[in-house]
A and B are shown apart, each in its own frame.
Chain A
Amino acid sequence: MFDTALTTADLIFLAKGAGMTILVTAISVAIGTALGIAFGVIRVQFGAALTAPLTFVLDIFRSVPLLIQLVLANAFLGMVLKLQLSGFFVACMVLSLYTSAYCAEIVRGGIDAVPATTRRAARSLGMSWGQDMRYIVMPLATRVALPSWIGLALGVMKDSALVYVVQVTELLKSTQILITRLQEPLFLLMIGGAFYFLISFPLARFGGYLEKRWSND
């Protein structure tokens, strides 16, 4: 018979970790997406030359491993700026910027995918830039960008496992704590994986549902 020292209290402990993963992911994806849309629109609107500095900064966030970003940001904020920030705040901040860098690319790609002729037609009909963005570009670009955005959100959720370095006990860290205490690594990793699946699956399905609903046929 299968025997484990795992108790109900431990499962609640894991669920708390999963709650933290969801919270960090939700905040980071929300802020990151808002920033990403702004950065993406700015990049398309003002052209490559003018936005080169912004592109460069975003490229840094995309190319430096998240773990290094977290450790360096935490050390910089705490030791150089002497700010007393919670690990949770630092985690959300770094993860938001990280998300925004990827999201900006997705938004840019989405806007570029709207045919220039369509946009010119909108302007010819007397639409302002705002109306063009609101009624023409946004609906078309969102359809193109949605699958990548869902992928990004799922990616950020799994990347959020790295925030343990700034003392945020999320799902993977909770699992590791239990592994250290109970010495049942394979079983606990399976349970941790199941928790991740439970969180990710609804989001992936929701994305699929939206895609289907928004398709034109």
Chain B
Amino acid sequence: MKKTIMATALIAATGFAGAAQADKLDDIIASGTLRCAVVLDFPPMGMRDANNEPVGFDVDYCNDLAAALGVSAEIVETPFPERIPALMSGRVDVGVASTSDTLERAKTVGFTIPYFAFEMAVTANDGAGIASYEGMKGHTVGAVAGTYEAIALEKQVQEWGEGEFRPYQTQADVFLALSQGQLDATVSTSTVAMANVKTGNFPGISVVGKAPFDTDYVALFTSRNEYGLINYLNLFVNQQIRTGRYAELYEKWVGGELPDLTVPNAYR
């Protein structure tokens, strides 16, 4: 008898606890503030302007998300290694931090569908007459030594059997060599390529196309058990693309050809 009463009480208690527990989506709306983890030393995704205010693609994306939720946005600056710890220790609600959606990370946090993709772009010296990735065949190309794109490019040059590959120490060195004509073309992340072309420090170079290397898809993330919020975020990312806001932000911060956020022959 006693056991039955206790069991009933326990079930009732869990029922109440379940009903009373608001999820994170409700918490954010109730608190009136959305706290986003953003990396601010990663232009053009996150950086600071001349007034030291946070700006960039990720900052705008967080502001859009807050506007959609009807709350104000709080940008919480988190260095790359601090992004997931900041979420786990409750300092932020959502990560809008150019985070690659790796399976390893997905064991800890819940990822949305990709909201941005870092593609590899070919940047060429205008005098070299290169118009595409294949156009680099037989030319002198280079990249930052040790990076993913450098390894892939060197392999490609060997495959082509003509032309030359030159490794450089820094990204700035590569663009300087390109601008000075020591190099005909390079492959780098599209954001880096556009940012360097835009600075005007390297005259006579332009981004001519995409390189068929692996694309680095990045996603928003939050606590992995917050399905309500993850659903909302997925729809939000979809709406950003649908309404053209994604294209608008891409043009504003990066420029050039819009990366495709879907993987061919896959559902998600």
Contacts and interface: CB of A to CB of B under 8 A. Distances in A.
B17 to A, nearest CB: 14
A140 B141 CA distance: 79
Interface string A8-29: 0110010000000000000000
B170 interface: no
Nearest to B42: A180
A216 interface: no
A48 B90 CA distance: 39
B90 A178 contact: no
Contacts of A7: 50
Nearest to A80: B90
Nearest to B51: A9
A78 to B, nearest CB: 5
Contact of B52 (A82, A84, A177): A177
A78 B89 CA distance: 9
Contact of A178 (B27, B52, B76): B52
Given A84-B31, A180-B41, A78 B90 contact: yes
Given A84-B31, A167-B76, A181 B89 contact: no
A79 interface: yes
Interface size on B, as a range, is: 10 to 19
Contact of B47 (A78, A166, A167, A181): A181
Nearest to B35: A167
Nearest to B74: A167
A160 interface: no
B89 A75 contact: yes
Contacts of B51: 9, 13
Nearest to B47: A181
A74 B48 contact: no
Contact of B40 (A75, A82, A180): A180
B37 to A, nearest CB: 11
Given A84-B31, A167-B76, A181 B48 contact: yes
A75 B48 CA distance: 27
Contacts of B52: 9-10, 13, 174, 177-178, 181
B91 A167 contact: yes
Contacts of B31: 84
B223 to A, nearest CB: 10
Interface residues of A, number: 18
A90 to B, nearest CB: 11
Interface string A70-82: 0100110011001
B90 A177 contact: no
Contacts of B91: 74-75, 78, 166-167
A79 B51 CA distance: 33
A41 B29 CA distance: 47
A82 B50 CA distance: 36
Nearest to B88: A75
A84 B35 CA distance: 12
Interface string B27-56: 100010000000011000001101110000
A74 B90 contact: yes
Given A75-B89, A84-B31, A177 B48 contact: yes
Given A78-B91, A181-B48, 18 more contacts: A9-B50, A9-B51, A10-B52, A13-B51, A13-B52, A74-B89, A74-B90, A74-B91, A75-B89, A75-B91, A78-B90, A79-B90, A166-B91, A174-B52, A177-B48, A177-B77, A180-B40, A180-B48
20 contacts: A7-B50, A9-B51, A10-B52, A71-B89, A74-B89, A75-B89, A78-B90, A78-B91, A79-B90, A166-B91, A167-B76, A174-B52, A177-B40, A177-B52, A177-B77, A180-B40, A180-B41, A180-B48, A181-B47, A181-B52
Interface of B: 27, 31, 40-41, 47-48, 50-52, 76-77, 89-91
